[in-house]
Amino acid sequence: MRHELVLTLRPLLTAEASAEAHASGTEPGDLEQAVWLRLLELLDAQGPPPDPERWLRSAVRSEGRRSRRTHHIERPYADEPADEPGRDPAHLAVAAARRRALRDAVRRLPGRCPRLVEALLSPRDLTYREIAGELGISQGSLGPERSRCLACLRRLLAPEVAARTARG
């Protein structure tokens, strides 16, 4: 019984939903789906309507009005917070792992390199003058020492960031 009713009403519903969709600002498929759902609920509760074609036309119009009302009430977000690049849990976990690996490598540096690189990575955004004063070295020697420390850091991190597959 249901199958025959669906087969009979499908072409009419497709035509009615296509005609109503433009006026309601929705997709025809969304209207069809809403009407099919209402029909299934009606069949479960009361059985088939006495005049299925008339019921279908009325249901399509009713769903179109509901869609127009909700379209005027609901406002989409300008952008979803979850859509921000880099805010998904996987990206955050990878970024945290990279920061931990960097901090671990900085702690393994020789001499005063750990203090120098920590000062360079400081969120306070220190100037060379401030870093030199904090470390007790001349500002002129800060650049060459920074280069040596960063070269050491690259060597320490090379195995961790090396490509896992052959290039080509």
Contact (Cβ atoms closer than 8 angstroms) between residue 32 and residue 14:
yes
Please give the pLDDT value at position 15: 93
Please give the pLDDT value at position 122: 87
Please give the pLDDT value at position 80: 59
- 73, 98, 120 — which closes off a domain? 73
Query: Do 100 and 41 sit in the same domain of this protein?
Result: no
Q: Taking the CB of residue 84, how many other CB atoms lie within 10 A of it?
A: 10
Q: How many domains does the chain have?
A: 2
- The two tokens of residue 112 are 């005063």
Question: Average pLDDT by consecutive 10-residue portion of the chain (168 residues)?
Answer: 85 92 84 91 89 93 88 68 67 87 92 92 88 89 91 86 56
Please give the pLDDT value at position 85: 64
Query: Do 36 and 93 sit in the same domain of this protein?
Result: no
Please give the pLDDT value at position 161: 65
**Domain span including residue 43:** 2-73
Candidates 25, 26, 19; CA nearest to 56 is 19
Q: Which CATH number does the domain housing residue 114 bear?
A: 1.10.10.10
- For the chain, the first-to-last Cα distance in angstroms comes to 62
Please give the pLDDT value at position 164: 54
Residues 72 and 67: their CA atoms lie apart, in Å, by: 9
Query: Do 103 and 68 sit in the same domain of this protein?
Result: no
Residues 140 and 103: their CA atoms lie apart, in Å, by: 26
Q: Looking at the domain assignment, is residue 151 inside a domain?
A: yes
Q: Looking at the domain assignment, is residue 80 inside a domain?
A: no
Query: Do 60 and 106 sit in the same domain of this protein?
Result: no
Please give the pLDDT value at position 125: 87
| Rounded alpha-carbon distances, angstroms, from residue 114 to 8, 62, 63, 118, 150 | 77, 70, 66, 6, 10
- 73, 102, 121 — which closes off a domain? 73
